[in-house]
Amino acid sequence: MSFCWMLIFIVLILIELFTVNLVSIWFAIGALASFVVSLFLENVTIQILVFIVVSGISLLLTRKFVAKVRGREVEATNLDRVIGQIGVVTEEITKLEPGEVKVDGKRWSAVSTKKIQVGSKVEILSIEGVKLHVKEVKEED
């Protein structure tokens, strides 16, 4: 049975190397522990229990670390950086026809659920394809 645990360990490590998403490392640790136990005990039930317990413990002990690694903040790219910014309408936007908005020094096609006149300020809500979804921002006096 030692050979089987070593084979399982190697396969799980290879899966981990190819996926790089921390999906099988805990089970690889469990398989390695079971391999060590199998060198001293022939009882397969104990080996399987060791595999389950060690895999579970390693998962619990590394959960915070994995959450930190996976939970990295997404940095804004050039596209999504304009979301939330204020732009100026350079071509009228209607419900049926897209217009144009200048934001961050660039001109974008833009759509809205309401008609927006040239010169109006708009807030960028989202991006779909190459079009900005905008809403008019009312200026306060």
Query: Percent of the chain having pLDDT more than 70?
Result: 89
Question: How far is Cα 75 from Cα 77, in angstroms, rounded to an integer?
Answer: 6
To the nearest whole number, what is the mean pLDDT of the chain? 87
Superfamily of domain 80-136, CATH level 4: Nucleic acid-binding proteins (2.40.50.140)
Residue 38 pLDDT grade (very low, low, confident, very high; cuts 50, 70, 90): very high
Which pLDDT score is estimated for 31? 95
Q: CATH 2.40.50.140 occupies which residues in the chain?
A: 80-136
Distance separating alpha carbons of residues 112 and 87, to the nearest angstrom: 13
What's the full length of the chain, in residues?
141
What is the C-alpha to C-alpha distance for residues 34 and 13, in angstroms, rounded to an integer?
15
Whether 62 has a pLDDT exceeding 90, the answer reads no
Give residue 10's pLDDT. 94
Model confidence at 21: pLDDT above 80: no
- Give the separation between CA 86 and CA 136, rounded to whole angstroms: 9
Q: Report pTM.
A: 0.49
Sequence letter at residue 105 = G
pLDDT in tens, 84-140: 899 999 999 998 899 999 998 889 999 999 999 999 999 999 888 889 999 999 876
How far apart CA 137 and CA 96 sit, in angstroms, is: 20
pLDDT of residue 82: 84
Confidence of residue 80 (pLDDT cuts 50, 70, 90): confident
